[in-house]
Amino acid sequence: MPAPNDIDAYIEAQSEPARGILTQLRATIRAAVPDATESISYGMAAFHYRSQPLAYLAAWKHHIGLYPVAFDTAFEAEIAPLRAAKDTVQLKY
């Protein structure tokens, strides 16, 4: 199966519940940052704002990986308890 070349194809290639969670996260990012651009980068759904990385999403076997790019100290402090690793927030399903 060829690698998806856009976020629609990436999400469509996932099974439930990953597909639904990715769809919700995408909508949340789009609502919060309407001018964000979307692409596939590093094999993941990628969101950029003003040409700067904003966040990445990836579906794994038992979780969604959310990779927010640290750009704000207050934001980083708020999500720190959710991090499963240095750069990862895992949303288990």
Q: What 3-state DSSP class applies to 50?
A: coil
**Degrees (nearest 5) of the Cα angle 79, 82, 85?**
105
7-92: in CATH 3.90.1150.200: yes
Backbone angles phi, psi at 68, to 5 degrees: -75, 140
Alpha helices for 15-55 (secondary structure H) = 18-32
The one-digit pLDDT tens for each residue of the chain (93 residues) are 678 899 999 999 999 999 999 999 999 999 999 999 999 999 999 999 999 999 999 999 999 999 988 777 887 788 788 788 778 889 999
pTM metric for this prediction? 0.87
The amino acid that residue 10 corresponds to is: Y
- pLDDT given at position 69: 86
Question: Where do the structural domains in the chain lie, given as residue ranges?
Answer: 7-92
Q: How far apart are CA 27 and CA 82, in angstroms?
A: 20
